[in-house]
Structure formats: C-alpha cells, structure tokens
Amino acid sequence: MVKYKVLISEERLKENVKELAEQISRDYEGKELVLVGVLKGGFIFLADLAREISIPVKIDFISVSSYGNATESSGVVKIIKDVDADVTGKHVLIVEDMIDTGVTLNYLKDFFSTKGCKSVKICTALNKPARRKTDVVIEYKGMEIPDEFVVGYGLDYAGKYRNLKEVVVVEEI
C-alpha cells in the first residue's frame, strides 16, 4: 500500500464494539444466542465483540464469496462454508465487517430464515449506506462511513491489509 489515511482509529472502534456488546448483552439476556461471523472479514470484529458480551454465547462461522474484482462485489453470493451447528430454534446474530450494497446480508438473512431460527438479526462494525442496492434492516449498526473503499479491521484489498488496527482509506495502491 503506497498511501492511506486513517478514517477510524483503534480507540473509536473499541468504543463502538463496547456499545454494541452492551446492547446485545441486554437484548439477549436469558436467550440462546449464536454469533455467526461472516468470513473472512468478520473475524476481527467477532473476536472483539464476543469478548465484550457478558452473556454466554455460542460462536460459529459462515463463509461467503461475492464474486467480483477486488473493490466491487458482483452481487452474486455463494456459500463457501455453512455453519457447523444446527441453528434450528436458536437466536442467530450475523456478525459482519461491513454492509455496503446490502446484497450479502440480505442473502444471509433469507438463508438463515429457511433454517428455522428463532430470530435472525444483523450486527455490523461498519455501514456504508451510500451504496445500498437493497433494503436491509440492521439491528446493531456500527459506524457509518462515507462512500470510499476502506481496508483494515478485517477488510481487505486483494486479500491483504485485514490485520490493520484502524480502518483506513486507500488513496493510492
């Protein structure tokens, strides 16, 4: 990466995680909750969020691909790996790094609804509403970002930069 600027600092990401985790802990008190991380991007946010949640939760992962080039998703979602556990009758919270067009999450919400879950809700670290193509209800909405391509905190460019601690805007690659 040649040039980038920090859009969201590590501190602000941490505060955001704490707020979301408090809400989730309150809302799901006494319920059987499964956090489903969306691989690969959701792995860092899920790890942070899970450790701030104060109620017992189960953790699972799903892997999806939205075929396309490095910065544009094609709109065609494919499940690469399904969750391991049976989520029938469970409360599922899908944990995602970013909601951009909304296509992936819309697909995943429908996908889980067919599994007979008690509820299916969405928690995202970042939200880019400017590029939405489809309406998607986000129950736990993280930080809003402008219409720019970002990396870090799980998000990649061509597979790299997921490990950056901040969310940064790529100015030149």
149 touches which of ligand IMP, Mg ion, none (CB within 5 to 8 A by kind)?
A: ligand IMP
Question: Nearer Cβ to ligand IMP, position 37 or 41?
Answer: 41
Is 62 in a helix, a strand, or coil?
strand
Question: Nearer Cβ to Mg ion, position 54 or 163?
Answer: 163
Q: Does 96 bind ligand IMP (CB under 6 A)?
A: yes
Please list the active-site residues: 100
Whether the bond between 40 and the residue before it is cis, its omega within 30 degrees of 0, is yes
Q: Does 100 bind ligand IMP (CB under 6 A)?
A: yes
Q: Does 150 bind ligand IMP (CB under 6 A)?
A: yes
In the shown chain, the binding pattern of residues 62 to 81 toward ligand IMP, with x for contact by CB under 6 A and - for none, equals ----x------x--------
Rounded to 5 degrees, what angle do the CA atoms 13, 134, 116 make? 85
Beta strand 3-8 pairing with 167-172: antiparallel
φ, ψ of residue 156 in degrees (nearest 5): -120, 165
Q: Does 98 bind ligand IMP (CB under 6 A)?
A: yes
DSSP at 144: E
